[in-house]
Structure 1
């Protein structure tokens, strides 16, 4: 069955389970003080849009856009379950995020990811993101890698 991606509420049991899996993965790679998770409740705030990837009824991935201002958005909570990795799901979700950001007139997308995520780095770099110094209010940390991308609105 083809994987579908759509905007959905994160306040669903299967999405909560997916986010718990994501948090477990991240906490295995970075110390807790270097993990900047949005909770499911924060993901449901009006400034955040969440995309859910499904294979049939099974939730297999997610990603979110958090708006910080009229010009800056942040890519958050990007994750694909291991059994579905390598199928372009993360790339597709990132494309959805970027498309909405551009349509809304955001000028810059930023993100923070961990220092142990080369597969994520590859997705961001192939999508035109460039490494940069700390973004937003994130501290400079050896456990973090920061990216930014100027959008067409800029």
Structure 2
């Protein structure tokens, strides 16, 4: 059985999944990659977990980005659960939560060494946008946005 749960960054299961995410990113990009500076998870109020047979297998979060936009953060699916549309389930729940909060756009950034994530976002209607904020100076960062339908 697959279950989607809304929580926050104090959730122990979320913290454990983020440790795995950070290890995956370090393997892909190296431990000193500049994008790592944007990885803190404290004080995230809007976190989604996906449980498969009671075991946490994926996560994602949103945080306020602008007046009408939320930023998607800390998306991760454990290797044993990949290929089962868990990422789409998380993304859909984060978009739904963003609409509930009155936002009409989701934005996100990622490193270029995440082809699976890139495919996920493009398949779900995210379009490439110019790099924003501190990301402008990080050569291999990618930024995406999606207008949400109400």
Instruction: Work out the CA distance in 1 between the residues paired with 2:121 and 2:70.
Output: 15
Pairing partner for 1:54 from 48, 51, 58: 51
Cα deviation, residue 14, structure 1: 3.0
Secondary structure, aligned partner of 1:100: helix
Instruction: Please list, as runs of the form range in 1=range in 2, the aligned pairs for 1:62-81 lying within 5 A after superposition.
Output: 62-81=59-78
Deviating more after overlay: 126-135 vs 9-18? 9-18
Secondary structure, aligned partner of 2:136: coil
Secondary structure, aligned partner of 2:107: strand
Name the counterpart of 1:4. 3
Number of residues of Structure 1 aligned to a counterpart in Structure 2: 148
Cα deviation, residue 100, structure 1: 1.7
Q: Is the Cα–Cα contact under 8 Å of residues 37 and 77 in structure 1 kept in the other structure?
A: no
Cα deviation, residue 32, structure 1: 2.8
- The answer to whether 1:33 aligns with 2:12 is no
Instruction: Work out the CA distance in 2 between the residues paired with 1:40 and 1:63.
Output: 11
Instruction: Give unmatched runs, 5+ long, in structure 2.
Output: none
Pairing partner for 1:131 from 117, 128, 132: 128
Cα deviation, residue 136, structure 1: 4.1
Aligned-residue CA RMSD (Å)? 1.8
Instruction: Work out the CA distance in 2 between the residues paired with 1:21 and 1:151.
Output: 29
Secondary structure, aligned partner of 1:42: coil
Q: Is the Cα–Cα contact under 8 Å of residues 75 and 109 in structure 1 kept in the other structure?
A: yes
Q: What is the TM-score with the length of structure 1 in the denominator?
A: 0.86
Instruction: Give unmatched runs, 5+ long, in structure 1.
Output: none
Deviating more after overlay: 15-24 vs 3-12? 3-12
Q: Is the Cα–Cα contact under 8 Å of residues 135 and 146 in structure 1 kept in the other structure?
A: yes
Q: Is the Cα–Cα contact under 8 Å of residues 61 and 81 in structure 1 kept in the other structure?
A: yes
Name the counterpart of 1:93. 90
Secondary structure, aligned partner of 1:77: strand
